[in-house]
Amino acid sequence: METISIIDAKNHVDQKVKIGVWLTNKRSSGKIAFLQLRDGSAYFQGVVVKSNVTPETFELAKEVKQETSMYVTGTIHEDSRSHFGYEIEIEAIEIVGVSEDYPITPKEHGTDFLMDHRHLWLRSKKQFANMQIRNEITRATIEFFSQEGFIKFDAPILTGSAPEGTTELFHTEYFDKDAYLSQSGQLYAEAGAMAFGKVYTFGPTFRAEKSKTRRHLIEFWMIEPEMAFMHQEESLEIQERYIAFLVQNVLDHCDYALTLLGRDKELLQGYTKLPYPRISYDEAIQLLQDSGEFDGLEWGADFGSPEETYLANHFSQPVFVVNYPKAIKPFYMKPHATRDDLVVCADLLAPEGYGEIIGGSERATDPDYLEAQIKKAGLNEKDYQWYLDLRRYGSVPHSGFGLGLERMVTWISGEDHIREAIPFPRMLNRIYP
Ligand code: ATP
Ligand code: MG
Ligand code: MG
Ligand code: MG
């Protein structure tokens, strides 16, 4: 008899198997007990029929408590009534670890309660589905960039300077010096692009953002590709192919997770249709003003969630908004060729209210311009000498972008809060567990 995972049940129909499981829920009558089981690979049902097992086994099935771990032995059958499609008819149960009264019961719990028990809540179906999707997006990211000829280039987490100012930075000590936790790997990725052509970073980033929104975490993961000899338009093409690739791979490999979440797969399939619309910041402002829903919105304003939601929903597709005002974007973006007040950049906004998932730009190449911008931004010039070297020794047009992993997961899962997209979310008032 083979020991299998639940996910492999389809290959063992009518065979006798053994599976290590936890009990998630149960119900029983005098003659039959239904045990809801999980093993980390899937969820399914075990059926214990009184007349087919020993009295001790049936008694055990009726008494066993939620989250008890055990080995069950029995025969796999098809079960067309469940999402999963298979069940096990149990003949024997061997308890591995008993469970105390489990705090998370099938009844409704408040968010704070669930977050306090995050280490246990991870066992729920919804979290299982979200982590499957997160895992697939990570896997497909590595596949995509490797097949496109990129090198994975890890940027440091501890940095001695603050690329975009210190207001959102976590400060720490570095022996007798100051250090900060990285809020973006981009400047390092640019050094990587000058050395290796096409690179991407994939790592944790930290922002001490005091805002409490449904799409900001304090600690999140970013994927930041950077490409030498590349202008904005080509970068946008890579971005949309990348997003479509991620969506397609989730559809191909996470069907069960999407079903558990009740996600509309046809809607997701629609997001693989390219190209995505591109509108300028100027046009975006016009659209928003014409809608009559944004009182007092003037050219020059940055967009928040309501504006981004309106724009992407207007197209029912992810949409690129290109060429924002220079004044609201960081110092390193390439100035527009004919408009002094714009930079060559793009944000990709996801529909259904998910907003900015990618921010990117072509990078400024002129060291004098950059030096002036660094000064203007009030940054310490000394910290950026290495960065300016990238322009002093064979500067080339180059572009890059950053995708927030949890923003992507939240959108694809159809969740309404970004805390659902990472195992242990770090938020304004939460660092436990
Ligand atoms: P927003 O305007 O939503 O605050 P941003 O413009 O500050 O985002 P960027 O600096 O452009 O963000 O970072 C690149 C990407 O990283 C964003 O497009 C988004 O996907 C993700 N991101 C940024 N901040 C956060 C955060 N606090 N939590 C989770 N993801 C984030
Ligand atoms: Mg921000
Ligand atoms: Mg933004
Ligand atoms: Mg941005």
408 Cβ inside 6 Å of ligand 1 = no
Q: Tell me the pLDDT tens digit for each residue of 110-130.
A: 999 999 999 999 999 999 999
Q: Please report which confidence band the pLDDT of residue 146 belongs to, taking 50, 70 and 90 as the band edges.
A: very high
Q: Whose CA is nearest to atom 12 of ligand 1?
A: 359
d(C-alpha 163, C-alpha 183), whole Å: 8
The reported pLDDT for the residue numbered 106 is 83
- What are the tokens at 100? 């105390």
406 Cβ inside 6 Å of ligand 1 = yes
Q: Tell me the pLDDT tens digit for each residue of 260-280.
A: 999 999 999 999 999 999 999
The answer, as to whether pTM is greater than 0.95, is: yes
168 Cβ inside 6 Å of ligand 1 = no
Query: Residue 46: which of 3, 10, 79, 12 has the closest Cα?
Result: 79
- What are the tokens at 104? 């998370």
Q: Is 340 exposed, middle or buried (0-12, 13-18, 19+ CB in 10 A)?
A: exposed
Q: Please report which confidence band the pLDDT of residue 165 belongs to, taking 50, 70 and 90 as the band edges.
A: low
190 Cβ inside 6 Å of ligand 1 = no
Q: How far is the CA of 209 from the centre of ligand 2 (A)?
A: 8
Question: How would you classify residue 278: left for phi > 0, otherwise alpha for psi between -120 and 50, otherwise beta?
Answer: beta
Complex prediction ipTM: 0.99
The reported pLDDT for the residue numbered 408 is 98
